[in-house]
Amino acid sequence: CHSFEYLELMKKNNPEYAQMFEQSEIYLQNYIASHPNLGKERAVVTIPIVVHLIYNPDSINHQLSDWQITSQIDVLNEDYRRFNADNIKTPEMFSSVAADIEFEFALANRDPNGNWTNGIIRVPTTISEFDLSDAMKFTTLGGDNAWPNKDYLNIWVCRLVYPTLGYSTFPTDSSSKSGVVVHYKAFGRIDCFSTKYYLGRSATHEIGHWFNLKHVDGDEPCCALDDGCDDTPLQAKNNQGCKEFPFSSISDCSPQTNPQPCNNTSDMFMNYMDYTYDSCMNLFSNDQRIRMLAAFNLYRTSLLSSQALIPPTSFSNDIGITKVLFPDELIYGDSM
């Protein structure tokens, strides 16, 4: 994931953004400290999604099917509710802090103009590969413009330059760039493109950043920085591939010069915010949940009044026009 490279780029190009980002962490920590009951009351929130699929018309692989896209939504609903079948693989040491985030996700039924949509926008492009410069987020640059991020989580799916699997903005970014980008090869629960990233966990991970999660290693070597969550052990570096529990990356930090106690029993390498393969990840933690809820309350509450998941009423009132515009509907049991 290149969210932190992206963040560094944003900071470099905009010193004010760097300052704002520093302050936002203090803001978030203060919010959590002053809301001790945060997360005690359980309430499921559904996040409306629009997927912008930016595809190369010359490559049949780029044209993900609607099924592949909805399989990604299924993965999000499993991972963020801890309904994932592989939750039994969480080591006992960490299972007591494994969390149901209580976020659900659904493709939009209504576009910004109030018209019916299936939440999937397909846009052909002449750009062969996209990078961190955000071109996929702008129609004039070969991508597709965002829908208003107060009402939608925008996800752009496209071919990304190697080795980027995806990246996300953080909640401090409320511009039209706000959203998540995922390589088409890692999107959805598919196994035809990748043997490592075929379970849809790249989007699970990136949306974690969109809700202000950091990588479990804090993106600093040898435990110099924590990820802002007490229940994820300090971790010396990010983990790649798959690991056998218990595993600690501390051995990569010798001689250990950092004063922080970094000698954990095991890294939480199976956390969605590490870098391991999809099949080796299976949890978010309670403190990550609190961070996400705080980020939601501070930055994303407009989604609660979004109309995106309410199908337009004219749709059901005018069956004649409905059929002409949306013949696909006939597949799903026509009452006539």
- Catalytic residue of the set 102, 104, 206, 220: 206
How far apart CA 292 and CA 211 sit, in angstroms, is 5
Beta strands in 56-175 (DSSP E): 103-107, 120-124, 153-158, 166-168
Cα 60 versus chain centre, distance: 25
Asked if 82 contacts 99 with a C-beta cutoff of 8 angstroms, the reply is: yes
What is the smallest separation between the CB atom of 262 and Ca ion, expressed in angstroms?
11
Number of residues that bind Zn ion (CB under 5 A): 2
Q: How far is the CB of 291 from Ca ion (least distance, A)?
A: 11
Given a contact cutoff of 8 angstroms between Cβ atoms, the answer to whether 287 and 251 are in contact is no
β-bridge pairing 180-183 and 166-168: antiparallel
Q: Is 165 in the site for Zn ion (CB under 5 A)?
A: no
User: Applying CB under 5 A, does 229 fall inside the site for Ca ion?
Assistant: yes
Window contacting Zn ion (CB under 5 A); options: 1-9, 75-83, 120-128, 276-284: 1-9
Residue of 3, 117, 235, 239 that binds Zn ion (CB under 5 A): 3
Tokens standing for residue 114: 């109030």
Integer-rounded Cα Rg, in Å, for the chain is 20
Read off φ and ψ for residue 93, nearest 5 degrees. -55, -30
Q: Please, what is the minimum distance in Å from the beta carbon of residue 209 to Zn ion?
A: 5
Six-digit token string for 229:
């969550």
Looking at beta carbons only, is 153 or 229 nearer to Ca ion?
A: 229
Instruction: In whole angstroms, give the CA distance from residue 214 to residue 205.
Output: 10
> Should residue 204 be labelled a site residue for Ca ion when binding is judged by CB under 5 A?
no
Q: Which residues have CB under 8 Å from 325's CB, separation 6+?
A: 116
Residue 204 interacting with Zn ion (CB under 5 A): no
The one among 149, 169, 232, 248 contacting Ca ion by CB under 5 A = 232
Q: Which is nearer to Zn ion, 217 or 287 (CB)?
A: 217
Cβ closest to Ca ion, residue 53 vs residue 229: 229
Please check whether residue 249 is in contact with residue 239, taking contact to mean a CB–CB distance below 8 angstroms: yes
The item of Ca ion, Zn ion, none sharing an interface with residue 1, based on CB under 5 to 8 Å by kind, is: Zn ion
134 binds, among Ca ion, Zn ion, none (CB under 5 to 8 A by kind): none
Residue 78 binds which entry of Ca ion, Zn ion, none, CB below 5-8 Å type-dependent: none
What's the first-to-final CA gap in the chain, in angstroms? Answer: 49
Position 312: which residue type? P
Task: Report the partner that residue 151 touches, choosing among Ca ion, Zn ion, none (CB closer than 5 to 8 A by kind).
Answer: none
State how far the Cα of 50 lies from the Cα of 256, in Å rounded to an integer: 46
Is residue 7 at the binding interface for Ca ion, with CB under 5 A as the rule? no
To the query of whether residue 22 is one of the catalytic residues in this protein, the response is no
Q: Does 286 bind Ca ion (CB under 5 A)?
A: no
User: Residue 3 or 266: which CB sits closer to Zn ion?
Assistant: 3
Nearer to Ca ion, 56 or 232 (CB): 232
Catalytic residues, which ones? 206
Q: Which residues bind Zn ion (CB under 5 A)?
A: 1, 3
Q: Which residues bind Ca ion (CB under 5 A)?
A: 226-227, 229, 232
